[in-house]
Structure 1
Amino acid sequence: MNLQTIGNAILIVLVIGWIGYRQTTWRPVAIGRMYRLALILAIVGAGLLVQQSHGLTGLDVAVLLVEIVISLGVGAWMGAIARFRPLDPPVRVGSSDQVARFASRTGWWGLALWLVVLAVRVGIDVLATSLGAHAATSTGIILLLIAANRVARTAVFAVRLERHAAVTA
């Protein structure tokens, strides 16, 4: 077991714990801020991937594409099962000028979906590594997959909230 593997395990535990907590608590919905987090994760992930890998093989790219499709699908599913409640009065989110009118949570099902993502990720990593795709285990790819999940979830949130606003207007 090398230092990168230990770092990945710690990162996974921290991210799953943090996101698990956020899945089960009501959080103000600020679509712009949600996209920003995904963008930051994607940029950091891409940077780490470039820094850590010595070139991607075709197998690495294929594994990455499969994992991204899975992350996007689970993210969309999380967005679809999310519950919303109005915030009265609306709250200002962070230091931005963005105002949240709704809070959301996906609850225990959202946490269960994260555990499914983790299990599938570990399974694919084991298989990919045995086939010679070593970039699949990099921290950069983990962050790219989390970013893909968050983008899909946020996109579904945005569509659902837009429909809700149209119905209530």
Structure 2
Amino acid sequence: MTLQTIGNALLIVVLIGWIGFRQLTWRPVSIARMWRVPAIMAIVGVVLLVQATDATHLTALDFAVLLVEIAVSLGIGAWMGAIAVFRPLSGPREDPDAILHSSSVESRTGWWGLALWVLVIVIRIGIDVIAARAGSHLATSTGIIVLLVAANRAARTAVFAYRLDRMPAVAA
């Protein structure tokens, strides 16, 4: 087992815990704030890819794997945004930081959102194993994992923004 494999496993466990917790708890919705995480993760993912990948050894298979994984991640992220439940903000008693979010609603995706998140991981591992056996060098990169999480969160945020624009105003 290599250090990169251990690092990837640790990253996956941390991301599952962090996003899993967020799927199950009511969180104030602030679209501007929600865009920050995918933006930062995308930058980190690209930097990790550039540092770890030799561009001269990339193949069409590497790009195909990347496109398939991003498409799956975007699709499941949009699905997560579509199943999210919104409710009027409970108030500062339950979330002391709610005032800082300047939101009138909160959301969660619940157990279905967590199940979709696990599906992203399972598909990622399956594609990684198949692609690595086929000779893809890019599929096993930590940068790809970070980019896929960024794509998932970006699609979820885009669907949230769309749904909230169509939602009747909620009194704060």
TM-score over 0.5 (shorter chain) = yes
For 1:119 and 1:26, how far apart are their aligned partners in 2? 25
For 1:88 and 1:9, how far apart are their aligned partners in 2? 36
Deviation at 1:68, TM superposition (A): 0.3
For 2:151 and 2:129, how far apart are their aligned partners in 1? 21
Deviations 1:49-75 (A, max 9, x none): 000011232111110000000000000
Deviation at 1:141, TM superposition (A): 0.5
* One-letter amino acid of the structure 1 residue matched with residue 54 of structure 2: H
Residue equivalent to 1:62: 64
State whether structure 2 residue 101 is matched by structure 1 residue 108.
no
Structure 2: state its 5+ residue gaps.
Answer: 93-97
Aligned residue pair count: 164
State whether structure 2 residue 168 is matched by structure 1 residue 161.
no
Residue equivalent to 1:4: 4
* One-letter amino acid of the structure 2 residue matched with residue 67 of structure 1: E
When the two structures are superposed, what TM-score results if normalisation uses the length of structure 2? 0.91
State whether structure 2 residue 144 is matched by structure 1 residue 141.
yes
Change (3 A) 1:166 1:77: same
Residue equivalent to 2:89: 87
When the two structures are superposed, what TM-score results if normalisation uses the length of structure 1? 0.92
How do 1:116-135 residues align onto structure 2 when only pairs under 5 Å count?
A: 116-135=119-138
- In proportion to residue count, which structure has more strand? 1
2:59–2:136 CA contact under 8 A, matched in 1: yes
How do 1:1-40 residues align onto structure 2 when only pairs under 5 Å count?
A: 1-40=1-40
Structure 1: state its 5+ residue gaps.
Answer: none
Runs of 4+ in 1 over 6 A off after TM superposition: none
Identity %: 66
| More off after superposition, 37-46 vs 81-90 | 81-90
Q: CA RMSD in A?
A: 1.5
Deviation at 1:92, TM superposition (A): 2.5
